[in-house]
Amino acid sequence: MIVQVNGKRSELPDSIKSIAELLAHYELDKKVVIVEMNETIVDRNEHDNTIIQEGDKIELVQFVGGG
């Protein structure tokens, strides 16, 4: 499936169906990540239930500490 992740065209394995699986694929499932899909923020509690479809535009935003 072809989607856009952080502005770049990405081909995802067929095994990835949900936002939760996408985060695991990018090894972000244990981190605090804000997910926006098609210009809408996806609540963390809905990551398992939010299905990714061909052509979706997904933004993954991580918070980075520093000083």
Domains and CATH numbers, the chain: 2-62 (3.10.20.30)
pLDDT at 8 over 90: yes
Q: What are phi and psi of 36, to 5 degrees?
A: -115, 130
The pTM of the whole model exceeds 0.95: no
* Residue 46's pLDDT band (cuts 50, 70, 90): very high
pLDDT digits (tens, 9 = 90+) for 12-45: 999 999 999 999 999 999 999 999 999 999 999 9
Please tell me the predicted confidence (pLDDT) of residue 67: 63
> How deeply is 1 buried, as exposed, middle or buried, from its count of CB atoms within 10 A (0-12, 13-18, 19+)?
middle
- H helix or E strand, kind and range, residue 24: helix 19-25
